[in-house]
Amino acid sequence: MVVSQDIRDEMKQSLLVERQRLEREIANIVSGGVRGDTFLADESDAIDQHPADAASELFEREKNMTVQATLEQSLQDVNSALHKIEDGTYGVCESCGKPIPEKRLRAMPEALHCIECRSRMDRENARR
């Protein structure tokens, strides 16, 4: 056990609240109607629209798709952290296997990596 039971219980509560919030936000986007995958089906309606209106609508759809993808990734991270709490591996970096500091877990309960590994991963992703 890397993290005390009290911290695990506290982080679990935070993660459950965050999961509900993310699920609500994803549901709002999905039910909101502006979806990128329906643009072609709606395209016949665009004939009467001014080109700027069509561009604005396409921009909003793409923005919503990006926000939805970000929220879904966050939800996946939250669910992974909850699973780690259940299997007793919460608070251990997935990359190096070292303990994730309590301060980081309190700031970001869904953290799956220590700061050093996360920074390295971000730098590598930025180079791509």
**79 in a domain, yes or no?**
yes
Q: What is the pLDDT of residue 60?
A: 84
Q: What is the pLDDT of residue 36?
A: 46
Q: What is the pLDDT of residue 65?
A: 92
**122 in a domain, yes or no?**
no
Q: What is the pLDDT of residue 49?
A: 61
**81 in a domain, yes or no?**
yes
Q: How many domains does the chain have?
A: 1
Range of the domain at 26: 5-90
> Which structure tokens are listed for 11?
């982080």
**58 in a domain, yes or no?**
yes
Give every residue of the chain whose pLDDT is below 50, as ranges.
34-41, 46
Q: Which residue has the tokens 């591996």?
A: 89
**113 in a domain, yes or no?**
no
Q: Which residue has the tokens 């309590």?
A: 102
Q: Which long-range contacts (CB under 8 A, 24 or more apart) does 109-114 make?
A: 109/11, 109/14, 109/15, 109/18, 109/78, 109/81, 110/15, 110/18, 110/74, 110/77, 110/78, 110/80, 110/81, 111/81, 112/77, 112/80, 112/81, 112/84
Q: What is the pLDDT of residue 34?
A: 47
Q: What is the pLDDT of residue 48?
A: 58
**118 in a domain, yes or no?**
no
**39 in a domain, yes or no?**
yes
**115 in a domain, yes or no?**
no
